[in-house]
Amino acid sequence: MKTNIPLKKILLAPLALLGVLGMLIEEHLWDALVRLGQWFGRLPVIRTLEVRVRALPPNGAALALLAPVALVLPIKLLAVWIMSSGRWGLGLMVLLSAKVAGTAVIARIYTLCDPALSTLAWFVILRNWFRRGKDWAHAKLNSWPLYRLTRRLVSRLSRLRRAST
């Protein structure tokens, strides 16, 4: 019996899996990075800057949210160049550091600017679209027995770690 699985489906499945896993990893990092941003926000210089960011009008808040993306992009390109020169370990460290730092700054700016951003119709549409995608990703992963098993194991390890401290 011959099955006709479209080539597009075969090629997109691994990419979809990587995208879903990447999104979920970033989502889990998000909460920790928001807390880190709150901690940094207690520093006087950062507190002053945050007051100004929080007071931005909606379009200014959108630009503030995009600024870290523009600032981190050259660092990510540098990481790719480092990897292309054969230094994979260093390039990967630079790339991951830029990703984590950029996500931390974006998380903090988003937290500060959410009230202003929520007044922009296009932003609300984009945020709702992203949330639906995230919900789809969660549903997809939750349908996989291996993911459910892994999630239970991670949860148990987290409980054991908290109990031992």
Assigned domain for 103 exists: yes
User: Into how many domains does the chain fold?
Assistant: 2
Q: Are residues 73 and 128 in the same domain?
A: no
Asked which of 99, 116, 133 is the last residue of a domain, the reply is 116
Q: pLDDT tens digits for 26-50?
A: 666 777 777 887 888 888 998 999 9
Range of the domain at 112: 11-116
Residues 6+ apart with CB under 8 A from 12: none
| Residue 85 and residue 72 share a domain | yes
Question: Do residue 69 and residue 143 come from a single domain?
Answer: no
Tokens of 145: 């027995």
- Whether 63 is in a domain gets the answer yes
pLDDT of residue 2 exceeding 60? no
Residues 96 and 21 in one domain: yes
pLDDT digits (tens, 9 = 90+) for 63-90: 999 999 898 999 999 999 999 999 999 9
3-class secondary-structure state, position 7: helix
pTM score, whole prediction: 0.68
What are the helix (H) ranges across 55-120? Answer: 58-84, 88-117
**Closest by alpha carbon to 112, among 156, 22, 51?**
51
What is the predicted pLDDT for the residue at 1?
A: 52
Nearest-10 Cα torsion for 150, 152, 157, 162: 140
87 in the same domain as 20: yes
